[in-house]
Structure 1
Amino acid sequence: MTDWQDDASRDLMSLGGRLALLTRGEGSHVWDADGTRYLDFLGGIAVNSLGHAHPVFVEAVATQAATLTHVSNYFASPAQLELAARLKRLAGTGERGRVFLANSGTEANEMAIKLARLHGNPRGRTTILVVEGAFHGRTMGALSLTPKAAYRDPFEPAVPGIRTVARSLDALEQAFDDTVAAMIVEPIQGEAGVVELPDGFLQRARELTSAHDALLILDEVQTGSGRTGEWFAFQRTGIVPDAVTVAKSIGAGFPLGALITFGDASDLFYPGTHNSTFGGNPLASAVANAVLGHIEDTDLLQNVQDRGRQLRDGVAGLPLVAGTRGAGLLIGILLDRPVAAEVRAAAHQRGLIINAPTDDVIRIAPAYTIGDAEVAEFLTLFAAALEAVAETTKTPTETHA
């Protein structure tokens, strides 16, 4: 174990392995303490929308830090007001929409639970529907929305009133009754392996929630802020939700989350029902404004769409690759055998950062700013990693071919 690993083992809680001691980044590359360069195609888990040390990000941090950093929730700031108006416009809420700025995706989802309770409790409705495979965060409320036993079992009992729905239209139809206050769903399930919902699932969820006077709340923590090539993934479906949660790419590396409400859902919270000391502070808000403004001004959403297609086309036909899922630059690469962890490790050895959310899926979520050079580098490194793993994990049929 190197010195930094000794330090980490001694001083940090043991909550997961740390692959390297990263010391700096630029664009889509990072360097470790030994000077090894890596191509970052995980982007801080779908966070670094502008890559590392982007001039727009750096300038926004420096300028705002030298002006006003934090004032608590007793005050507003110009940056906060600008960001709220910007998010309403990008989400298409109309005038009645409202925004609450938090510090993370899990905090935004905690507020979504409270929104559901405020809507349902006056009529005795306490059930919140979630979809199998969902991941909504690690705090107790958000974890209660996450039906993965390995995450939840050590912390039971969970928040009551959460019901899991299978990922099918038939199950969706059967899930609704007069106890349902809301349904919370990811348009694309990132942590489940970049899993897309069945065709028509979100549209039918919108119809059923409306028919049963329940809220439809979309968790766009991974898919929002342009990750799929639209500002929000729901905009590809033609529906209008009651609320959306967003984080990750919105701050391009600066911690920030938000709950955005539409229509009547905007009237549910009232003074005393929620707040946050750090939420919407001037520094975070200024960074998000700069990031979102740059994405919009430079038409990076088109680049997200174009590079996503280029990457999906590029991995087709590579060893072990069985297909792809996702949209824009949130891509799941399906493998034909459960060797995703081995592929991730082989990629890391060759200077490529990706991850394996499941045994047979590799997830990539690079910066929106990638171009031909980064795509070509990725395909070269990824192909080499796949070939190395394919050679060491040949099936009996392949061995005797």
Structure 2
Amino acid sequence: MRVLMLSWEYPPKSVGGLAQHVYDLTRALVKQGVEVHLVTLAAAGAPAEEVVHGVHVYRVEPYHLSAHNFAHWATQMNIALLEKIIYLQQKMGGFALVHAHDWLVAFAARAVKHALRIPLLATIHATEYGRNYGLHTDMQRQISDIEWWLCFEAWKVICCSHYMRGEVRHVFQLPEDKVMVIPNGVDVSSFSTVSAQARREHYAAPDEKIVFYVGRLVREKGVQVLLDAAPQILRHYPQAKLVIAGRGPYEGTLRYQAEQMGIAHRIYFTGYIDDALRNSLYKWASVAVFPSLYEPFGIVALEAMAAGTPVVVSDTGGLAEIVRHGVDGLKAYTGNPSSLADMILQLLHNPQLAESLRQTAYRRVVEHFSWSQIAARTADVYRQVVEAGRRSAWYAFAERSSGFLEKVTRFWSRPAI
């Protein structure tokens, strides 16, 4: 089965968790016998075309024209994607289906669906409605409209959690049988590589215990709640050190908050860190904390569990489905600094509990969140969609149209008399 996949993120271009998801999913799909052709955006230092773990990757340069807003820029990007897709269609002769990730590739995905008459499958990783707790601006409403349009055009919609399935059905009014849940996964082996240069003492004193957060610094990730919880944590456990890794538009606000609270000397903002340093910090940390206000899945929690770090998460979204309270992690009330501090302090004061949760969490990741299982389920959806498409009147029309076009092409390509 030859599949065309569209994603605006793919390593080394990484803005959020989408890039890692597409990287892991595509290489696992190849092992399931799927021929994957991924069209994505160019990234500095990355080749225009390459094969990564059997995945055919094509990177395109977006137009450098002025755009009034992000949605206009996304439209220009989609046309650049289409230029590459037309070339691939001519070169290889077609695809079984097109798989689109999020609204940023919706225009190209919809055009491919109707131009090539192949089914469209969409994965919705988050919604504009959910990210902003409603739609408050014209830009947010425009993006939400494009998300609805992508879901409407898709044969099936994949979500990564039951929470997201409910959100997508509610926001876009989708029928129950159109939306399915396939969770994210994690590659346990990828956490064995650690940084050769970094040392624990660069981030905390020998007698300090690290409370670690890694992720984008945006409001919905709830780092401000962790900072609000810090005085209570430090009052009951003075040896705690908060290490906050990542970058994002909210970083300046968070730094200012720490200064105003008088706790900046107990907080280490690392900025961007690579995977090896992230793995090292996971191993040095006593607790990994993810206090999200909105979290469609929460792959960072899986990563911490795979790295062998005890986790505390907010009881929301996909995080609430991953972590079972008191079994493989602890949950705090969403947006509640006191509850978050209580859960973190439980693990700092009770190493035996932390170790028990850590071991159970690791087993859960290995048994239920491997990419091989997730890719097998995704490949099965591909087969169902392709087979259903071929039985449909829509596909029959495409077959008739294709035969007619072949006759017209042969007629006009005859030698002149």
**Shared fold (TM-score, shorter chain, > 0.5):** no
Of the two, which has the highest radius of gyration?
2
TM-score, normalised to structure 1, is 0.31
Query: Whose helix fraction is larger, Structure 1's or Structure 2's?
Result: 2
TM-score, normalised to structure 2, is 0.30
